[in-house]
Structure 1
Amino acid sequence: MNLREDKHWSYGAQTILFAARGQQPFLAYAPVQSDKTKESLDELNKEFRGIVNDRPPTAAELQRAQHSMTLKLPGSRETIDEVGSSILEQVQFGLPDDYYATFSRKVRSLDVPAVTDAAKSTIRPDNLVWVVVGDRAKIEAGIRQLGLGEVKFLDANGNPI
């Protein structure tokens, strides 16, 4: 929300925690203006560090997330493919038969301390891998100034340059 609503540097900033057994990929995605790459990375880093340290989610942020997760649920089972995917997910992850029937109630019952604890066990700011795509000549110096770790360059096929 910060990059989009406060700074106006991105329209589609979001985070995704993929459903998986074992390790779960956590992805933060934020297409930003090239001239705000450094600043955007710095803001994301502050957000990740804040949520696990001194700035837990607010009640309003939690409520927005709860509404987002629960209000879209009915529309996510409108086709045979979507219903099939839901059943597959239940089997794959060993979810109970009433998983979707109780999902909204369970999400709405979460409170800020529970969400904060989950964030602390999931988000590890010192272990993040930052993947930045852009015009190297315009963004490299700023990225290096942030000191987020070793900077490596890959070509379009993922090969080291």
Structure 2
Amino acid sequence: MMRAWLLPMLFVLCGSAVGAAQIVNGDIAAAAVLLLVFLALAGVNSPLIFPKSIGAQEAQRRSAVDGRPVVFWRPGCTYCMRLRLRLGRSARRAYWVNIWRDPAGAAAVRAVNDGNETVPTVVVAGRPHTNPDPGWVREQLSRSV
């Protein structure tokens, strides 16, 4: 759990240090702007922007029933953020598995990516797709409804 929040906490700490340095230099406006930028970076890199993660086995069971894609991801991954943001509201229809919280999910990703934890890995109808185009994933989500 702590590992998922490491990058956001570093952004907050760095933003605080940079903001404090700007305040010491007498530039309060720059301090406020920089702090807001670092807070935004922390928010985007936090697990909060992703739908609630479930375990890999539960996600695969549910996907077998309703055909929805399973997305394996990890916090701090720019490609995962890109996928999540480009999917918009439709991202909630997929099953999201945080591989840093679920060892079975990490093992499933390694099994299909030559031993690497390459994410996002999207599984549709039992077939894995590593770092797929967000438009394609959106199309798969619309088919599964």
Task: Give the structure-1-normalised TM-score.
Answer: 0.22
Q: Normalized per residue, which structure has more strand?
A: 2
Q: Normalized per residue, which structure has more helix?
A: 2
Task: Give the structure-2-normalised TM-score.
Answer: 0.24
